[in-house]
Each structure stands twice: as C-alpha cells, then as structure tokens.
Structure 1
Amino acid sequence: MKFLFLLITIFSTLFATEADDTQQKQLKNLEMIEHYGIKIGTGDAVKMYIFVDPLCPHSRALIKKIYDNKMLQLSNSHYIMFYKLPRFDSEKTMHYILESSKPKEALIEVMVDEKVIDVKNILAKPATSEALKAITNVAKTLEITQRPYMISFEKDSKYCRVSEGSVSCLEELED
C-alpha cells in the first residue's frame, strides 16, 4: 500500500510539474506579445489576454462590457490582442487602431461606439504588420478558433482559464 501511495505521489508530482511548465510557457508567450496589446484596466487580481477581431459583433459586445464595467477594470488588467477572423476584412481596421496616436481611444471608437472608419487608403507600417504577425503566431500555438477568445491568469493561482477549447494548462486533469 505504501508503494502504491508513493507511486501515485510521484506521478501526480510529475504531471503537476508538466502542467506548470505548459502554463509557464503559455504565459511567457503571451507576455512576449503583451506590449502589442491595448491594455484596459489597471488591476492585478487577474491578467487576461483577449483575442478579438474588431469587426466581430461578439468581440465588440465583450469589449463594451469590459469598457462599461469600471469595477472590472479596477480589479483586472485586460490585454486586447487583434487576431483576424477569416470572414471579416478587418486587417486595415486593426492597422487603423494600432497606428492611431491613441490606440485605446481608437479601439473604443471602433468597437464600443461602432464608428464606421474609412480604411481604404490605410497602408500598414512594417512594425504594425510584425505585431499582428507575432500575435497570430501565439494565437496559432494556442489553437484559437473563435473570437473573442480569453485566457486568464489569476494572481497566485497555478492554473489558467480559457474561454473555449481544451485548457492546456489543465491537461493533466482531463485524463
């Protein structure tokens, strides 16, 4: 019986370490692109990475809820990352927002106020294209298929939460 208990303890420690490594890798990848995102909120209870398409109605609804909830902004930090959905022609809108002198205000203007912007003549700066490419690469590693997609890391928790799909940082619990 002691041997079985020891064996279970060793395996659970190994799987917990693997899950911690997976989550740490995810967090590291997200932190590498964090500066490309638009931050809404100043809190430290939850660090949330939100992948949106600025023309997606579901993404817009989520951003409106975050923007309207000042208490949520005081307790959490939301990093808004642009990740294009194939059915929307939103790349130039993303460039408009990211290249604006005040990206957060441009985000609110487009996603919350739903202002229609003429983006026909917008040419992307190389830095903006690189930022969107970096975000896309991380999104692909997370296997994101829907927008909005949220992944959150609660302060002092060893697990993350995601809005859809399998939670890779909790894979050891799925077996």
Structure 2
Amino acid sequence: MRHDWLRKLTGEDFQFGRSVAIVVGIGDYDHWDPLTGPTADAERMRKFLVQSGFDEVYTITDREVTRDRIGDLISHAQSRVGSKGRFLFYWSGHGGTLGQGDSDGFLPLSATPTDGSGSRIAMRELYGYASAVGARHQLFVIDSCFSGGVVPSVAANRFVEMLSKKITLMLTSSAEAQYSYGQSESVGPDSPL
C-alpha cells in the first residue's frame, strides 16, 4: 500500500507489508462489574479495520480471551506481519492496579479477581508483545482504567523522526493511576470502569 502523504512528510517511499490486528473486548466478568461496551467496541473496531484494508483481523471477546489465546495470536501475528508490516492490538475492558508502584497495572480476564490474583495480563507485558511481533509500525490501543502505565513518555518533537523508523505506539484511555470513565451496567454513565 502506498502512502504518498507519508513520503512527502518524511522524504521516504513507504511500502507496507501485511496488516494484522488482534482485537479484544471483555465485558463479562466473574468478579468485576459487567461492562456493556467492550464486546460491541471490539466488533466495531473489527469492521473498521477490515474496511480499512487490514489483511487479517482476529477478534476475541469475553470468555474466549485467555493468556494462551492472546499468546497464540501474538505468535501468529509475528509469523504473518514481517518487518515492513503493520500491527494493531486493541483492548476494551477493565484495567486494574495492584497499587504497589508505577508498573503494577494489569488487564483482567473474565475470571480474574479484583485483587489481581490469578490469570491477568500485566500492562508492561504489552511491550513484550510489541517486541515479539516486530512490525514496522505498531499501534496498541488500550481502553481501560490505569492503562497509562504501559506508555513511556516520548517527546513530541520526535514524532516525524519516529514515523520513518520502526515504531510502537500505545494509546490508552487513562494515566497509570487514573480511572477511565464510561458506562458500567451496575453503576451508570460517567462512572469509573
């Protein structure tokens, strides 16, 4: 796929390889308040990515989401994307924190207790996913509480420089010690998720 606007901006001719996405939405939890939006968010994201020309979009929701399943999809993406490809990881659901420091945020699975014990995905593990996939451009969109814990600070003046190199971006809906607001079935609109 040609990106003339990017060539004009950076002076380089970009030819991207395959575009692969993993889309996750969890609203059905055993120990957390149920969320009505994540499954629908995941489906809307899937449709958008397919319409935008992504070659492969893998969508998993609610009880289908396990550490093993995500690991398998990351491995598959690694084998399919290549160093010139694009990779997108999207998460919509709860986020938690152990409250012990800057790197203690996590993404709970359906059966994860609210104290963070049991199976979960640590926010910092997302960088491991990015390293494993190794695509030229990677975007992580994390729509959960405490999701800002995955993002290192990056100076704004490096943006154009970063576009011409291998890059991983992570977009979050909250800072690492901040709630993300939305609608929870048991609490109502504009409540922390």
Q: TM-score, normalised by structure 2?
A: 0.26
Give the structure with the higher percent helix: 1
Whichever of the two has the greater Rg, that structure is 1
Give the structure, 1 or 2, with the largest relative contact order (CA under 8 Å, sep 6 or more): 1
